[in-house]
Structure 1
Amino acid sequence: MKRLLQFFLLGFIFLSVTQSEAQTKTVSKDSVVQLYGVIMSADSLRALAQASVIVEGTGRGTLSNDQGVFSIVVLRGEQIRFSSTGFKDKIITVPDTLSGNDYYVFQLLVNDTVNLPATILKPRPSREQFERDFANTDIPADQLEIARQNTDEATRRILAATLPKDGREAVNMQLRQQATKYYYNGQQPPINLFNPFAWADFIKAWKRGDFKKKKY
């Protein structure tokens, strides 16, 4: 009984597949249409080369040649989109009541008007205006100039004095402070306010411009 049921199921599946393939072949053979024609502009009847002929909802399509002629295989009832740069798109439907398998189309595309933004023309400035604007133009520094400014000696001194120190520098400074404290233990540490060498270093730094505000 079990074997008989298996043979019955296999026979049913075979008949269903055979009938489906036969119907598919019949439908495909009757619905296939060779669509061909010419695409031209509506105003001057100029042939449109490289115009797109796309079947809507599918990945099928083609392009017209230099004379605007095209040819593509489609199915009855499908929608065809004609498009070209500078023209409005046009969609047609392949009729379902064709007596044969050929369908000719003489498709005209209308120009698509594109409104561009208005352009304001101004007179050329005088020599005095050009020199004034050129002299007052703030040109930003390029990468090379920024690198040169950052590697300047005065800039490096300011960065070294203002940027926070990392762990190694902080430990070294703390050790130096402790060493200085132990060195002057039991006596008065020197005050740089009355040190002529410290004042000489301050005057040199001031002349170099170390205290001027820099642009980064």
Structure 2
Amino acid sequence: MKKFLLLIFLAGLFAPVAVKAQFESFKDSVVQLYGVVMTADSLRGLPAVTVKVRNQNRGTFTNEQGVFSIVVMKGDVIDFTYVGFKPKEVKIPANIEGNSFSIIQLMVVDTVYLPATIIKARPRREQFEREFVNADVPDDKIEIARQNTKTAQSRILMQSLPRDGSENSRYVQRQSSQQQFYSGQYRPQNIFNPVAWNEFIQAWKRGDFKNKN
């Protein structure tokens, strides 16, 4: 029991020392970063420049004169971004002495080439009506579906497209059933079938046997 109480006493005695040492180490790594952001060509202060600590949700903006101030840690990377200028980055040295660091950050103009825009005069009423009437309006999905459901288009698709799995299965079953039905006897010839002759004549009139090429 005495040893247990001694351990508690020693822990309470050395705990403030450890906390104080940790606080001193954290305090030594904190840096007050301040400076000014200017244009590289005219040395003009840039307002509203974004000053952000990388990989952290902390940052600030420059004021109207381009001046900023932010608390960072030694070794942090600071990103400077502004519309129309190339982004810049500054790494805070990990071995600087003291708890303050000042910089003058110069921003270079980023040249952006936009595509050419051709401005034309507004067309007259006659020109607008002529262009509107002669405009080639593409078919919508309803019209495309309507054209695909036409009888002639359906026949062309049936002749050109291969059978799917269900059609092949029905075809094989139908052939097998016919073989079983006419097993041991001669199959009837469709040349004497009036229904087959009627379908042949109707197809001939429709032009199904014409060369489509």
TM over 0.5: yes
Q: Give the TM-score range, shorter chain.
A: 0.5 to 0.7
**Alpha-carbon RMSD:** 4.6
Output the CA distance in 1 between the equivalents of 2:194 and 2:205. 17
- Residue identity in the other structure for 2:20: A
Q: Under a length normalisation based on structure 2, what TM-score does the superposition of the two structures give?
A: 0.56
Output the CA distance in 1 between the equivalents of 2:44 and 2:210. 72
Identity value in percent: 39
Aligned to 1:122: none
Task: Name the SS of the counterpart of 1:24 in structure 2.
Answer: helix
Output the CA distance in 1 between the equivalents of 2:147 and 2:67. 66
Aligned to 1:97: 97
Aligned to 1:189: 188
Task: Provide the aligned length of Structure 1 versus Structure 2.
Answer: 185
Summarize the Cα distance change of 1:163–1:90 in structure 2 as closer, same or farther, 3 Å threshold.
closer
- CA positional deviation for 1:191: 3.0
- CA positional deviation for 1:168: 5.9
- CA positional deviation for 1:37: 3.1
Summarize the Cα distance change of 1:35–1:198 in structure 2 as closer, same or farther, 3 Å threshold.
same
Task: Name the SS of the counterpart of 1:71 in structure 2.
Answer: strand
Output the CA distance in 1 between the equivalents of 2:18 and 2:100. 26
Summarize the Cα distance change of 1:78–1:154 in structure 2 as closer, same or farther, 3 Å threshold.
closer
Is the CA contact (8 Å cut-off) linking 1:37 and 1:106 kept in structure 2? yes
Aligned to 2:203: 205
Check if 1:64 corresponds to 2:69.
no
Aligned to 1:127: none
Task: Name the SS of the counterpart of 2:16 in structure 1.
Answer: helix
Task: Name the SS of the counterpart of 1:74 in structure 2.
Answer: strand
- CA positional deviation for 1:156: 3.6
- CA positional deviation for 1:54: 3.2
Aligned to 2:163: 163
Output the CA distance in 2 between the equivalents of 1:83 and 1:208. 73
Summarize the Cα distance change of 1:141–1:4 in structure 2 as closer, same or farther, 3 Å threshold.
farther
Is the CA contact (8 Å cut-off) linking 2:78 and 2:90 kept in structure 1? yes
- CA positional deviation for 1:144: 4.4
Match of 2:51 among 43, 49, 53: 53
- Residue identity in the other structure for 2:96: D
Is the CA contact (8 Å cut-off) linking 1:36 and 1:69 kept in structure 2? yes
Summarize the Cα distance change of 1:17–1:97 in structure 2 as closer, same or farther, 3 Å threshold.
same
- Residue identity in the other structure for 1:74: V
- CA positional deviation for 1:87: 1.6
Check if 1:22 corresponds to 2:20.
yes
Summarize the Cα distance change of 1:12–1:172 in structure 2 as closer, same or farther, 3 Å threshold.
farther
Is the CA contact (8 Å cut-off) linking 1:157 and 1:210 kept in structure 2? no
Output the CA distance in 1 between the equivalents of 2:31 and 2:157. 79
Aligned to 2:39: 41
- CA positional deviation for 1:47: 3.7
Output the CA distance in 2 between the equivalents of 1:189 and 1:79. 91
Q: Which consecutive residues of structure 2, in runs of 5 or more, have no partner in the other structure?
A: 117-137
Is the CA contact (8 Å cut-off) linking 2:75 and 2:91 kept in structure 1? no
- CA positional deviation for 1:39: 1.5
Q: Which consecutive residues of structure 1, in runs of 5 or more, have no partner in the other structure?
A: 120-139
Instruction: Name whichever of 75-84 and 37-46 sits farther off.
Output: 75-84
Is the CA contact (8 Å cut-off) linking 2:190 and 2:196 kept in structure 1? no
Summarize the Cα distance change of 1:52–1:70 in structure 2 as closer, same or farther, 3 Å threshold.
same
- CA positional deviation for 1:199: 3.9
